[in-house]
Structure 1
């Protein structure tokens, strides 16, 4: 569906490779075969997942054994593996753009989202190191570290002055390409990042006091959701 939309708007042909990035190294030979003969000028590493829709301790991750592996495969392993497949062709042509989507949570440690925060920290550091290594060879590697964007992963949270729509965020983020190798993606998120650095330093972010407050707030919101869902189910049955 997305491929057809791209074709209709751009007039360019698309190729779809269906894989599950949680499956680890087994998927990359098939991807490499499908990419043979293609001149790829831009790579966007945007695949990602989280394990909770709320703040939770590490040991509270549901189905922790497979979930941990899936998250590392999807959020971490995919970035260097896809780069490995595409970068050689860019080097041969002396030009190329790689955009790696990280997160504000990969810039600073975020307790109660420990695994997600850690995987995004990898993306941030890998991107910055890769850009330093290959910028002299005509390759630009940009790290995009947004805050809240309304997507399926964020339960399509309501868009406001702090939360960007996916399309709105992409429009602003694309304007930064060629100007910086690291960006929050949009003005709103850049200002929020500065505010977090000033008013929520790491020592406070990782303090036991704040962790307890965040946990209590998360529990309260979960309870409200359950109540709201329960009311909806009752009214539906009555109808």
Structure 2
């Protein structure tokens, strides 16, 4: 009787081992396929060139990821509409791109935190009649430094501007550009969210929540309009060396915007939701795994990191 019981337990153990092994192998193969094989072999990849449309629109186009996307698309011979709040910077980037890549550019000066009804009317009018194949919703705003929700200086203005920049801009730009893409049956929309929307982000609560909106909005918009030939992708970058992150020197984990964008472009058509950059994918995986094991520990670690950044920022203000 004991031997029969042992035999049954052995069989159950073998079955459980097989199931766990199957899911581990499946996870590993999927991970390798999505991050290495598919981008390298360009399986299902969407080509960002003028076959999707003659023009690309980039918001927040004078710095960081936005500027890098503008240059990457110009390199692929798309004409570029640059949208940002400072006209002199727009003119400088437009001139540089025109000189390097011999394409047309158009600039639209817009501060997405002010006169929002008028801004989108002007943008819609300026874009009317253009064969827009690509929209990069990059414009965004964060805290000046990590801070507790109730203690941030000028919090009313800052929170209001974050919502206008990070939520209203993405919604309204899609309202303006998407109808033409659906009518032509082609187009690409890339919405820039943040890894902060996927991990515990204390002291950045309004920023991370606004980026979570972009995540959900993109996911459901892609479900609605992929059948119309429009590719819609959401990116969740970690730190990139830019003015917004205040990181001046690029590293393996905080790449230059141009390096980040070139890797992110390779994922288009392969992954609709991605960090866009393999080291950021690894970091997200580690944090997600830690959060699954011990949410309390994960939140404590991220809180300590944010408090350290906050302390350095406050020290700089007193110098």
The residue that corresponds to 2:86 in the other structure is none
Q: Is 1:49 equivalent to 2:149 in the alignment?
A: no
Q: Is 1:178 equivalent to 2:308 in the alignment?
A: no
What TM-score, normalized by structure 1, do the two folds share?
Answer: 0.87
Q: Is 1:153 equivalent to 2:244 in the alignment?
A: yes
Distance 2:129 2:104 in 1: 15
The residue that corresponds to 1:40 in the other structure is 132
What TM-score, normalized by structure 2, do the two folds share?
Answer: 0.66
CA contact (8 A) 1:52 1:61 kept: no
CA contact (8 A) 1:111 1:206 kept: no
When residues 4 and 162 of structure 1 are mapped into structure 2, their CA distance, relative to the original with a 3 A threshold, is same
- The offset of 1:31, in angstroms, is 0.6
Distance 2:306 2:211 in 1: 21
- The offset of 1:218, in angstroms, is 3.5
- The offset of 1:217, in angstroms, is 2.4
- 1:82-93 mapped onto 2 (5 Å cutoff): 82-93=173-184
When residues 90 and 205 of structure 1 are mapped into structure 2, their CA distance, relative to the original with a 3 A threshold, is farther
The residue that corresponds to 2:208 in the other structure is 117
The residue that corresponds to 1:8 in the other structure is 99
- The offset of 1:7, in angstroms, is 1.4
| Structure 2 unaligned residues grouped into runs of 5+ | 1-91
- 1:59-78 mapped onto 2 (5 Å cutoff): 59-78=150-169
Distance 2:261 2:215 in 1: 18
CA contact (8 A) 1:145 1:185 kept: yes
Distance 2:246 2:144 in 1: 11
| Structure 1 unaligned residues grouped into runs of 5+ | 231-239
1:54-89 per-residue CA deviation (whole Å, 9 max, x = no partner) reads x21011222112211111000110001000000010
1:169-223 per-residue CA deviation (whole Å, 9 max, x = no partner) reads 111111111211111011111111111111244823675x557634642354346
Q: Is 1:22 equivalent to 2:22 in the alignment?
A: no
When residues 66 and 225 of structure 1 are mapped into structure 2, their CA distance, relative to the original with a 3 A threshold, is closer
When residues 36 and 206 of structure 1 are mapped into structure 2, their CA distance, relative to the original with a 3 A threshold, is same
The residue that corresponds to 1:135 in the other structure is 226
- The offset of 1:158, in angstroms, is 2.8
Distance 1:219 1:186 in 2: 26
- The offset of 1:50, in angstroms, is 0.9
- Structure of greater Rg: 2
The residue that corresponds to 1:107 in the other structure is 198
CA contact (8 A) 2:201 2:302 kept: no
Partner of 2:189, secondary structure, is strand
Cα RMSD (Å): 2.0
The residue that corresponds to 2:15 in the other structure is none
Distance 2:162 2:118 in 1: 15
When residues 136 and 212 of structure 1 are mapped into structure 2, their CA distance, relative to the original with a 3 A threshold, is closer
